Structure 1
């Protein structure tokens, strides 16, 4: 049974194993509330997952340690288990989805674990890990549906209340539910008036749907840039804890997640992965009522694959109106491009790409189409440029 004593014991065991991460006030991201960032993206292995996996492994018997451990993961739990096992001198096998970011796969290997890539998503890796456990006789280290793992994650709750005793609310990412279960259980035990909000990606709302159905359910598929929380089925134990201790669970879109990643990079110089940014996305886009409150957002991880970072930034720029794409129908005669670029320049926009197309199927023979990509300040700036082009007689087809 999960108890507050177990969480305190986990904190004692982990004091020389994990980093006590900073809680940083963000005046720029505060918008009618005081926003603080719990920087688990700066944890060892780049994620909170080390807390739960290290505590779980520390509680194994000598006989269990001799059999080795096996785990499944979208990437962060893998690194936590691998590092904890390496420090204990234990053999570790980790099953990861074959679509896991390369950076997470390579980091897991660097800690000495045997990595097995499984076609599909997290749940497919989970099923394969169970098969290998039967074959090898290893001890399975569940990423979230385990009391010791949850107690390890709960140490974040202890740190939050120690760092900000008058905390009004905490916003936490949810995948399988281990992180929020530990934090919510701990925070509510010590400060029942503190609100705990959970956030899922709109493309992987397994806990949201489970709460709606009043039982753990399994989604048919998940699709989100927040790979760390792309879980089809929450844990039975975590569902019960979330149902009991969490005040509300909301969702954010991939565009909102991208905007949060971009905002954290620009304003806080913080690199977060998709799953790590959903808490900030929920605050930025007013998914929960935190007006006038002191709020901590848990940045659960920073292990974003650099190969997709540019795409995420582009999505964030589009969402914020910092980049705009326009398609303009023109009469095919000299001076048209000069007029268009002159209007954009006069209003402070920056043209970053131009494609002049005379072969559009649905245009007149004497017409052409101009595809532009612009750097702009915000959505109001885009509207200003669009209105000026229309006033000048140009027909905007799209954008």
Structure 2
């Protein structure tokens, strides 16, 4: 995999009063961090497990990671993706050689269909987040960041099902126990947020429609939610307009094309800056597989952002 660049922005530093370091996982193979976990998971499979083929469900980035990792291992990959997945992600997944099946309105429906496929075919399941090998692969991001910037005191990470933040939090705190790890969810998809603050192991959202489709997960992982409770310090939620603003901001200020999920960590820093006690802040820009056809919608949405924070009480009743 690529050791992705870390960039700084003088404008961002001045805007936040912090030294901000952005880890550009949109420069990773397949355009997102997901290749890390997928490639590590497949490297742990036996010849028999690979020969059975691999199957998974994904809103796009995990799909591409698994497809490329499977191709490199000579294994067949079958990927279930929900309707509404950006066409760029679907086509890229097919381009890596995977058999793509479009099923359901949400990740959860695609996930259910993928489990049925596993039962019928005996294929090896590669979960997008609720797997310790997947978490370990994603954790390499935390190791790289602290190797490059050992004085980091905080890392802000997007959360969907929780695989990315689980891996980063464990890895970073093993290296530097004092470091703070902050998670971020879209306010329209706050499953891990609700689990974290209510200690409810069975959070299932009725819906989770957001421009950050990469983290639109109705139900957090059973493994990841426990890791998050044990290792993550706090979680914030950001609105659709705040996510859109961060996407446009990254494009204008750093010339980085970033998808909604990839912009949520920066969106939280900009929205909750006064609440985040940090001098040297790492921000994970998790992916850049954006459907360019939505740029005008995103730009219009970003103009509605006024950076007002969403309180925990407001999120709880969403």
1:316-335 equivalences under 5 Å are 316-319=302-305
C-alpha contact 2:37 2:134 (8 A) present in aligned 1: yes
Single out whichever of 226-235 and 288-297 deviates more from structure 2.
288-297
Shift of 1:287: 5.5
1:283-298 equivalences under 5 Å are 283-286=269-272, 289-291=275-277, 293-298=279-284
Q: Which runs of 5+ in 2 are unaligned?
A: 308-318
1:103-118 equivalences under 5 Å are 103-118=88-103
Does residue 132 of the first structure (1) align with residue 117 of the second (2)? yes
Distance 1:288 1:75 in 2: 33
What TM-score comes out, normalization by structure 1 length?
A: 0.75
Higher strand share: 1
Q: Which runs of 5+ in 1 are unaligned?
A: 1-17, 322-399
What TM-score comes out, normalization by structure 2 length?
A: 0.93
Cα RMSD after superposing both structures = 1.2
Shift of 1:316: 1.4
C-alpha contact 1:173 1:200 (8 A) present in aligned 2: yes
Shift of 1:213: 2.2
Does residue 242 of the first structure (1) align with residue 262 of the second (2)? no
Shift in CA distance, 212/290, structure 1 to aligned 2, threshold 3 Å: closer
C-alpha contact 1:259 1:320 (8 A) present in aligned 2: no
In the alignment, what sits opposite 2:105?
A: 120
Shift of 1:320: 6.3
Distance 2:152 2:275 in 1: 15
In the alignment, what sits opposite 1:188?
A: 173
C-alpha contact 2:153 2:278 (8 A) present in aligned 1: no
CA shift digits 1:169-206 (9 cap, x unpaired): 00000000000000000111111111100000000000
Does residue 71 of the first structure (1) align with residue 56 of the second (2)? yes
Distance 1:239 1:319 in 2: 30
Shift of 1:118: 0.5
| Alignment match of 2:244 (pick from 258, 270, 280) | 258
Where 1:109 maps in the other structure, the secondary structure is: helix
Shift of 1:218: 1.0
1:208-357 equivalences under 5 Å are 208-216=193-201, 217-286=203-272, 289-291=275-277, 293-319=279-305
In the alignment, what sits opposite 1:338?
A: none
In the alignment, what sits opposite 1:82?
A: 67
Matched residues, number: 304
Higher relative contact order (CA 8 A, sep 6+): 2
Where 2:17 maps in the other structure, the secondary structure is: coil
Distance 1:195 1:60 in 2: 33
Question: Which structure has the bigger radius of gyration?
Answer: 1
Shift of 1:27: 1.3
Where 2:302 maps in the other structure, the secondary structure is: helix
Structure 1 residue ranges (4+ consecutive) displaced by more than 6 angstroms after TM superposition: none
In the alignment, what sits opposite 1:327?
A: none
C-alpha contact 1:99 1:119 (8 A) present in aligned 2: no
